A and B are shown apart, each in its own frame.
Chain A
Amino acid sequence: MSLRNPVARTRIFLAAAFCSCAALLSGCGQDKTWDLDNITGIVSPLAFSLTDDAGRHVTAETYRGKIVMLYFGYTHCPDVCPTTLATLSQALSKLGAAADKVRILFVTVDPQRDTPPRLKRYAEAFGPEFIELRTDDPALRQLAKRYRVTYSLGKPDAHGNYEATHSSAVFIFDDKGKARLMAESSSSAAAIAHDVQQLIGGA
């Protein structure tokens, strides 16, 4: 069961990659150290076709040249989603003016309730670098599969409310759309800011 989730699988890939490369690491010539999980070469490059919170069609090309943080969640999520976005917001604050080189893309796993107007208000609550994106099935399933993200919607209660379970990973792509790092809800703003600063610097 645990192998079906992206974090566990990525960790196994990372462990395997580490073991096989351990002997070569000293010769890599890279002196950058990362606080977050390094997913370079493990996770697919940024690619999608979605609708943004202003109702525009956007693709990965739209954000080329920006460091992109990709997160899957839903606006009716009261705790972990806004907590994660708040941490990303704090990380951006630490970057100062360089925050403009970053875009946080929040893909809703609940497109039925997360209409563009709702997503727009949600994005505005966190800051100008936040962009909420949506698509319907089967495109959403295909996108999630690309990043080994799983999600499921619960059964509605008497009031029609329902919850979702979803991956808590934040995938970070460099300005060329290459997957580089992965953060989680427990990652600190300082760690995220540190690593994103290195990516902005061309690491």
Chain B
Amino acid sequence: MLLKGVSRKPLLWLAAALCMAFAGLGHAAGSPASVEHARIRWLPGDLPLAGYFDLTNTGPRPLTLTGASSTVFGDVMMHRTVHRGGETGMVPVHDMQVRPGQTLHFTPDGYHLMLMGRTRMLAKGDAVPIRLTFSGGRSMDVMFAVRGADMQ
């Protein structure tokens, strides 16, 4: 019994270490994903904002992006802008699988994070933390740069 308990501990530590590595992955060497160009287009007042980024799966297994959250916004949703013969609207997006080596692009006039309910004032030049969540209970914290309304 005792031996079993002891033998499990290194596994738990290993699992914890892996989780921490994954949670903090960012651009660390050997991490299973990296995010670049994380940015938010600022708009005045309490208007909903859009967040954009490029997520690359640098690991050996498929990743499934399931959502995002932030302490700076009451509600964060994954959306896609769709054009249907001249009419434009948004549809919610749920699970997005990213194959090993693939980059998922959240770009203007396409996939975006819809950020609603600011919990504090934001200005151009600010950095905002957003947590991307993946299937399996994993997550990744990313700093998004707040850009001007006329950001391309």
Contact = CB atoms under 8 A, between A and B. Distances in A.
A163 B47 contact: no
Interface in B98-116: 108-110, 112, 114-116
A76 B86 CA distance: 19
Interface residues of B, number: 33
Nearest to B113: A78
A115 to B, nearest CB: 11
Interface in A24-50: none
B7 interface: no
A163 to B, nearest CB: 6
A142 interface: no
Contact of A150 (B75, B87, B116, B149): B87
Nearest to A74: B47
A112 interface: no
Contacts of B39: none
A165 B81 CA distance: 10
Contact of A166 (B49, B87, B117, B149): B87
Contacts of B85: 1-2, 5, 7-8
Interface residues of A, number: 39
Given A89-B150, A90-B152, A118-B45, A79 B86 contact: no
Q: Which of A78, A122, A164, A185 has the most CB of B within 10 A?
A: A78
A78 B115 contact: yes
B42 interface: yes
Contacts of A90: 150, 152
B151 interface: yes
26 contacts: A2-B86, A7-B86, A75-B47, A78-B41, A78-B47, A78-B114, A78-B115, A79-B90, A79-B114, A80-B81, A83-B108, A85-B149, A86-B149, A86-B150, A118-B44, A118-B45, A121-B44, A125-B42, A125-B43, A126-B150, A163-B90, A164-B89, A166-B87, A166-B89, A185-B83, A189-B152
Contacts of B148: 125
Given A7-B85, A161-B116, A165-B87, A76 B47 contact: yes
Interface of A: 1-2, 5-8, 75-76, 78-80, 82-87, 89-90, 118, 121-122, 124-127, 150, 159, 161, 163-169, 185-186, 189
B88 A76 contact: no
Contacts of A89: 150
B45 A79 contact: no
Contacts of A159: 75, 117
A48 B109 CA distance: 29
B118 interface: no
B131 interface: no
Contacts of A6: 86
B88 A82 contact: no
Contact of A122 (B44, B48, B75, B110): B44
B50 A79 contact: yes
B46 to A, nearest CB: 10
A59 B55 CA distance: 47
Contact of B150 (A76, A79, A127, A150): A127
Given A2-B86, A122-B47, A125-B42, 6 more contacts: A6-B86, A78-B48, A79-B108, A79-B114, A86-B150, A186-B109
